[in-house]
Amino acid sequence: MTDSTELKPAPVPQARWDFTFAFLILRFWLGARALFVGIQKFAVYKSVAMPLIDPSTGQPDASGVMINVNVKSYALANYAGIPVAFKDKFAHEPLLPKFALVLFDRLLGPAFILAGVMLIIGLGTRLSLLVQAVLFLALTIGLILIDQNDGVAYLGIHIGLVSAAFLLAQHNRFVVLKKW
């Protein structure tokens, strides 16, 4: 006769590696996205005259024809937090105070770079996600004010990804500071 009160071992909690990997993917994607958005604020295209290359010989065209080629370069002097095309629109928006626009323009690139690096290395992961959420919300408000609805929808996707990362942050295993 068997006893129905048989002791069974308690189930061993399984590592939730699927959630960990999901968070790592989001963390690295959002971190890289923020880092390179910030770096792009230091980029500019310059038009450079170059000789036309004859495709058959690979040599400059004998007639001396020159063509303009856009070359991208990065430098601290090139910094523009807010694109020039939007700056005028923002300047004429009465709901955006001038001092806030200037401050946002100066801090946008460095804030994205810092938040991206922090997220990639796992230094204050939740703080970095919060900074990115605030930046995306501020950009969204700005685009709403100047009626750029395509950009608003695009930023909404980023807000959703940051929110998903917050939901998965409890599964963050590879960090420098876990608390933040």
How does pLDDT run across 93-121, given as a tens digit for each residue? 888 888 889 999 999 999 999 999 999 99
Q: Kindly tell me if the per-residue pLDDT of 14 is higher than 60.
A: no
Question: Strands 43-51 and 66-74, how do they pair?
Answer: antiparallel
What's the confidence (pLDDT) of residue 53? 83
pTM: 0.80
Q: 125 CB contacts (<8 Å, ≥6 apart)?
A: 27, 118, 119, 169, 172, 175, 177, 178, 180
Which pLDDT band holds residue 12 (cuts at 50, 70, 90)?
A: very low
Residues in the chain: 180
The predicted-structure confidence for 120-179, as pLDDT tens digits, reads as follows 999 999 999 999 999 999 999 999 999 888 899 999 999 999 999 999 988 888 888 766
Which pLDDT band holds residue 84 (cuts at 50, 70, 90)?
A: confident
**Mean pLDDT over each residue of the chain, to the nearest integer:** 87
Query: In this predicted model, which residue has the larger pLDDT, 180 or 47?
Result: 47
Q: Kindly tell me if the per-residue pLDDT of 68 is higher than 80.
A: yes
